[in-house]
Structure 1
Amino acid sequence: MTEATAPGTASFTVYHCDSWVARLSADEDARIADAVRALMPVAGTPSRTVGGADLVTVPVPMPRALPFAEQARRAAASLKVALGGRPIAAPVVHAHVGLLGGLPALRNMRSDSRLFVTEHATFLDRMLAEPDGRAGYAEVLAACEAFFVVGDPLRAQLAEAFPEHADKLRSIANPIDFATPRAEPVKSLHRWLFVGGLIERKGVGWLLEAFAVCRRQEPALTLTLVGEGELRGRLGERAEELGVADAVTFAGALSPVEALGLMREHDVLVHPSRYETFGVVVVEAAAAGMPVIVTRCGGPEQTLAGIESDAGQLIEVEEDSTAIVAGYEQLRDRFPGGMDLDRARRVLADRFGYQAVARQHHDAWFSSPSADPS
């Protein structure tokens, strides 16, 4: 987001509240908080980051399993320390994630600043289920000038929860980098790739089952899983049981640059998630020139609207491997003539490329004659 939107502004500073999560006693928590307050004025020196922006990393000591509202309050307090008690020196403040980013921004901005917020969290329902979380969220919504959501599912959820603020909700997608083309076009669908958390919601268990079924028909198939999560051990054991361990690579957690590099080396992204607010990885795969097999899980059917067949294969969310197997077979049977990956890439760049998303943000941020572009 910073790389897309920072160019074209006079100044752009990112305050990244970085949660340092650990099991802490009350005494340890207090002593660490004292240390952060003492060290932050020295440690909080800005560094230059993407788009010519400045970056200030703000450590937030965080005992495990705190309610969302308390996490937000701690981030607000740590940000205040990093700012030396002074308000954020900008007429435009943009926060990411309504409560965890919005509340710290609201508590540390000038009274005359304009607040904008982007929500893309898949855990929004859990935040709103907490009374304090819901109250904090309502406070942010009341104060902001506009509230951006990355997809219709989130917009509908927030409009239902806060109908009095529905007029502030606007759809602006996550920006995706389309600048780096693939060296060679995809020639087969043998090298499967998954990028995401190894958790139940992502459907990785059913993906492994589907891969084993398809590999019995096509022994050349391989599967690379990028990410970590609670299912890592179980997936490894199941790969052994299915007899496909030699064809499955657990790449672990990789940087975005490394993950995008793998997209340009693999043939098809398989993304059987149970719920997505947007589905960044699906659009990133299309930007990398690879077809996708993705569930209709909320965000992807919106992001791929009108180019579903060109980009790959949409499948239904099912609690088994059937839809994934069928989706792969359908995609394989019409590859490559039954799709147009170049067209999909062009359409998606017009929707979600850096320039398109930056233009929408700048139009909102600087629409007022009194708002200086900084």
Structure 2
Amino acid sequence: MESRSSSQRTLRVLHIAAWYPTPAHPVAGVFILEHVRATALYANVAVVYAERNRRIGFKPHISDSLEHEIRTLRISYPRLPFPKSAFLSYAWSILAAYRYLRSRRFKPDIIHAHVWYAGAAGLLLARLHRRPLLVTEHASVFPRRLLKPRHQRIARKVFHSCHRVCPVSEYLAKYIREIAPHSRITVVPNVIDTTLFTPTEAPPAPPQTTKRILVVALLSPIKGINHLLDALAQLRTKRTDFVLDILGDGPARSDLELQTARLGLADVVRFHGLKSKAEVAAFMRECSFLVHPSLCETFGIAPIEALSIGKPVLATTVGIFPEIVTPDCGLLVPPGDTQALAAAVDRMLDHHAEFNVLGAAAALRNKFSRETVGHRYTELYHEALTAQENAPSGPFLRALSAIRAAFRNLKGATRTWARILARLRGATTRDELSLCLSACIDLCDRLFHPAEVRNPRCALPCTVRDTSKSVVFRIRPGSDDIYSVLPRREGPVETAIFDLLGLSDTFVDVGANVGYYTVLAAKRVGPMGHVIAVEAFPDTANSLKTNLALNCLNNVRIVQAAAWSESGRRRTFHFQPGHWGQVTLCANETSESSVQSPATVPTERLDDICAAVPHIRVLKLDIEGAEYEALKGAAATLAKTQRVVLECSNDEEAIMDLLRRHGFRIQRLPFSTYIQADK
């Protein structure tokens, strides 16, 4: 599958976030999360976020979980035991996360860093593994000119070396060009949630005598809220028909509360603290207008959310605001000008209902939606991959790349064989010797064929046993069966199947191969349960029968056919002899350089296969790219299935849409391209 062009498959993108929401700081870096969610609409993504702890050492702790249906790696890393090692510690933790993902079959096509500091680690990663790098810049240190000279040099190197720099506004892009004039810049804005921030369909409320002013911001000095309080104190001497609601929290909150009391505004200014996005949208619908008095802003999401709802905005002339706050939508004032701010608030209180915001709201929602931003990033990803494929390289670089690839290949194979020998034992002394000799033969073969990327192969026939599960498997000579029966190789997939499967249940294994999941499931469901194993290829089906006999299992029905959208047809498939675990139904997606052998097998619909089964607890599909074709012939089967676990090798969006139409809720599993769908 690795040989498919980037336009023919779902890209894998690794996001490296310098800031990201945490339980202690739930809004920190939330705009980066929105960028990640936008790219997840079109790509298979994972996020790495690293925080330093107080320990000293070398080994970071990696937490791997699904958050917002996105694979998220949170790293707690120690400080290296030598001075001035802050960046080295951070970069070391990012490299550890990358190795962790690769060991679990997530091999990124693109490195996407957020903020220059993460971009520096991303550049190191991109150079080591020959991956394109994109950097999205959010930081306000560039317009505020707070970067130290050495940090400016690092940022310049990152921006000049990456494929594309994506500042979130033209305002920020102007300052990036000052530091890195030769960088390739494309502005990609922040994202708003268009499902929440949309105009209300209710009739407009009658005019109120007391106008509600709203501020949504991190309470820090740079947001200029102290200037707004001073302006309201001036305004209070001439009118009292307003209240101010402040949503948010931050280091300046206590100072702002003291200032409010000192100015005698405690009866009209209310601090509400942090609110969810849904609560923010509700406040915006109830307000008269929003004020954003920031002194410096690279973007500013709250004014765009307010405009998308249909509320006028009073903002300062920083960031993106001059681009979006037109005379029809609100007013602009210079940052830090209390007199101008007081006059603008006075005017807004009298004329806020006269602004025609709804005309621009639809265009803003389209421009800043997840779909638009995600599609733009996807275009840049494909552009980066195409540029890398077409980039010229000399013989030295090609040789160095080949040596590096061969070393990685051999290193990965050695680790895999170490896991195999630790978790599996030969059933007899002769089998144990055959297993060890096969490991030596396979590793030596890789030295002579360093460019070949494949699963481990057993050169000699043997029978292996997994003592932890009391099961045995027969391994064909010259095949990759040993890799298919490696315990916990697909840990999250195994958990998704067996945490639901119980006694007397029914399990359907489509793409059973030599029967690893079939054998374990047959033991789990017991004699009163039922397992259906679908395996199309005759030699593999015979091996499956052998393994069922070795484990004395009689509750399994083997269907020797290819699950397809129609029954009674014959399909010609292609495979490389010995690579039984990588057989694909899509011949055009296998490596053009591999020697392939055709095999013609009958097809059968899953609805016909499972017609006599009243209820299916778990349905597993792994047929290397033909999952969508199998599901098109499984409408009745899906109606009686509680959980589906499948690998989306192709047609991911079509598969998810089909499953949703049948009432399934979908979540990604933190392994390869597998998903889990539950009713």
Relative to the length of structure 1, the TM-score reads 0.81
Other-structure match for 1:91:
109
- Encode CA deviations 1:80-134: one digit per residue, 9 max, x unaligned: 23344676721112111122x2122223345331111111111236787323322
Q: Which structure dedicates a bigger proportion of its chain to helix?
A: 1
- Encode CA deviations 1:225-256: one digit per residue, 9 max, x unaligned: 22333432232222222222122222233444
Kindly indicate whether the alpha-carbon contact (under 8 Å) linking 1:268 and 1:293 is maintained by their aligned counterparts in 2: yes
1:162 equivalent to 2:183? Answer no
Kindly indicate whether the alpha-carbon contact (under 8 Å) linking 1:296 and 1:315 is maintained by their aligned counterparts in 2: yes
Other-structure match for 1:328:
345
Mapped partners of 1:105, 1:327: distance in 2: 44
Q: Report how many residues are paired.
A: 345
Other-structure match for 2:600:
none
Give unmatched runs, 5+ long, in structure 2: 1-34, 390-649, 653-672, 674-679
Q: Return the match for 2:65 from 37, 46, 69.
A: 46
- Encode CA deviations 1:153-177: one digit per residue, 9 max, x unaligned: 3222121222232xx0111111222
Mapped partners of 1:124, 1:61: distance in 2: 29
Other-structure match for 1:25:
none
The higher radius of gyration belongs to: 2
Matched ranges for 1:106-125 at <5 A = 106-109=123-126, 111-124=129-142
Other-structure match for 1:56:
73
Other-structure match for 1:199:
220
Kindly indicate whether the alpha-carbon contact (under 8 Å) linking 1:177 and 1:287 is maintained by their aligned counterparts in 2: no
SS of the residue corresponding to residue 332 of structure 1 reads: helix
1:238 equivalent to 2:254? Answer no
When residues 345 and 62 of structure 1 are mapped into structure 2, their CA distance, relative to the original with a 3 A threshold, is farther
Kindly indicate whether the alpha-carbon contact (under 8 Å) linking 1:14 and 1:56 is maintained by their aligned counterparts in 2: yes
Give unmatched runs, 5+ long, in structure 1: 22-27
SS of the residue corresponding to residue 246 of structure 1 reads: coil
Other-structure match for 1:80:
95
Kindly indicate whether the alpha-carbon contact (under 8 Å) linking 1:80 and 1:86 is maintained by their aligned counterparts in 2: no
SS of the residue corresponding to residue 170 of structure 1 reads: coil
Other-structure match for 2:193:
177
Structure 1, 136-145 or 248-257: larger mean CA deviation: 248-257
Task: Return the letter of the residue paired with 1:354.
Answer: R
Mapped partners of 1:234, 1:48: distance in 2: 35
Deviation of 1:20 after TM superposition, in Å, equals: 5.0
1:350 equivalent to 2:366? Answer yes
Kindly indicate whether the alpha-carbon contact (under 8 Å) linking 1:150 and 1:278 is maintained by their aligned counterparts in 2: yes
Mapped partners of 1:239, 1:343: distance in 2: 36
Matched ranges for 1:1-374 at <5 A = 1-9=35-43, 11-17=44-50, 19=51, 28-30=54-56, 33=57, 37=60, 39-40=61-62, 44-49=63-68, 52-60=69-77, 72-84=87-99, 89-99=107-117, 101-109=118-126, 111-124=129-142, 129-165=147-183, 168-180=184-196, 181-183=198-200, 184=202, 185=204, 187=207, 190-302=211-323, 304=324, 308-319=326-337, 321-337=338-354, 339-367=355-383, 368=385
- Encode CA deviations 1:348-369: one digit per residue, 9 max, x unaligned: 1232222222221111112345
- Encode CA deviations 1:10-67: one digit per residue, 9 max, x unaligned: x1111123x357xxxxxx541xx55x63x43xxx223142xx432222234589xx99
Report the aligned-residue RMSD.
3.1
Kindly indicate whether the alpha-carbon contact (under 8 Å) linking 1:127 and 1:133 is maintained by their aligned counterparts in 2: no
- Encode CA deviations 1:290-309: one digit per residue, 9 max, x unaligned: 2211011232112x1xx512
- Encode CA deviations 1:256-304: one digit per residue, 9 max, x unaligned: 45434433333321111111112222112212332211011232112x1
Kindly indicate whether the alpha-carbon contact (under 8 Å) linking 1:293 and 1:327 is maintained by their aligned counterparts in 2: yes
Structure 1, 113-122 or 131-140: larger mean CA deviation: 131-140
Mapped partners of 2:79, 2:274: distance in 1: 22
Structure 1, 344-353 or 363-372: larger mean CA deviation: 363-372
SS of the residue corresponding to residue 121 of structure 1 reads: coil
Structure 1, 211-220 or 228-237: larger mean CA deviation: 211-220
SS of the residue corresponding to residue 37 of structure 2 reads: helix
Kindly indicate whether the alpha-carbon contact (under 8 Å) linking 2:143 and 2:172 is maintained by their aligned counterparts in 1: no
Mapped partners of 2:368, 2:87: distance in 1: 29
